[in-house]
Amino acid sequence: MDSPLSLAGAPAGAKSARVRTWRAQLALEFECRAARTVLSARRHDGPLVIQKPLYPEGAGVCHAIIVHPPAGIAGGDELEITARLEKKAHALMTTPGATKWYRSAGPWAYQHIRFSVDSGACVEWLPQETIVFDGALAELRTNVQLFGDACYIGSEILCLGRAGAGECFTKGEYRARTVIERDGKSIWLERAQLQGGSPALTSPVVMAGQSVAGTFIAASPRIDHGLLELCRGVRPLAGSGAVTAMPGLFVGRYLGASSEAAKNYFAQLWRVVRPALAGRSASEPRIWRT
pLDDT over threshold 70, residue 14: no
pLDDT single digits (tens) 70-127: 879 999 999 999 999 999 999 999 999 999 999 999 999 999 999 999 999 999 999 9
CA–CA gap between residue 266 and residue 256 (Å, rounded): 13
Q: What is the mean pLDDT of residues 170-197?
A: 97
CA–CA gap between residue 180 and residue 185 (Å, rounded): 8
- In degrees and rounded to multiples of 5, residue 278 shows phi and psi of -110, -5
pLDDT over threshold 50, residue 18: no
Residue 110: predicted pLDDT:
97
Mean pLDDT, all residues of the chain: 91
Q: Which of 248, 80, 200, 93 is nearest to 156 (CA)?
A: 93
Range of the domain at 144: 72-289
Cα Rg of the chain, angstroms:
19
CA–CA gap between residue 128 and residue 174 (Å, rounded): 17
Q: Which of 113, 110, 60, 111 is nearest to 278 (CA)?
A: 60
Instruction: Let me know: does 41 contact 28? Beta carbons within 8 Å.
Output: yes
Instruction: Let me know: does 33 contact 43? Beta carbons within 8 Å.
Output: no
Identify whether 61 is part of a domain: no
Residues β-bridged to residue 119: none
Identify whether 9 is part of a domain: no
Identify whether 130 is part of a domain: yes
Residue 13: predicted pLDDT:
37
pLDDT single digits (tens) 143-153: 999 999 999 99
Confidence band of 20 (pLDDT split at 50, 70, 90): low
Q: Which of 136, 109, 131, 267 is nearest to 197 (CA)?
A: 136
pLDDT over threshold 80, residue 8: no
Instruction: Let me know: does 99 contact 89? Beta carbons within 8 Å.
Output: no
Identify whether 30 is part of a domain: no
How many domains, the chain?
1
Instruction: Let me know: does 288 contact 94? Beta carbons within 8 Å.
Output: yes
Identify whether 11 is part of a domain: no
Identify whether 36 is part of a domain: no
Identify whether 10 is part of a domain: no
- In degrees and rounded to multiples of 5, residue 248 shows phi and psi of 75, 10
pLDDT single digits (tens) 203-256: 999 999 999 999 999 999 999 999 999 999 999 999 999 999 999 999 999 999
Instruction: Give the Å distances, CA to CA, from 199 to 24, 38, 205, 208, 209.
Output: 34, 48, 11, 10, 9
Identify whether 13 is part of a domain: no
Q: What angle do CA 144, 146, 152 make, to 5 degrees?
A: 70
DSSP states of 238-260: SSEEEEEEETTEEEEEEEES-HH
Element (H, E) at 190: strand 185-195
pLDDT over threshold 70, residue 11: no
pLDDT over threshold 80, residue 3: no
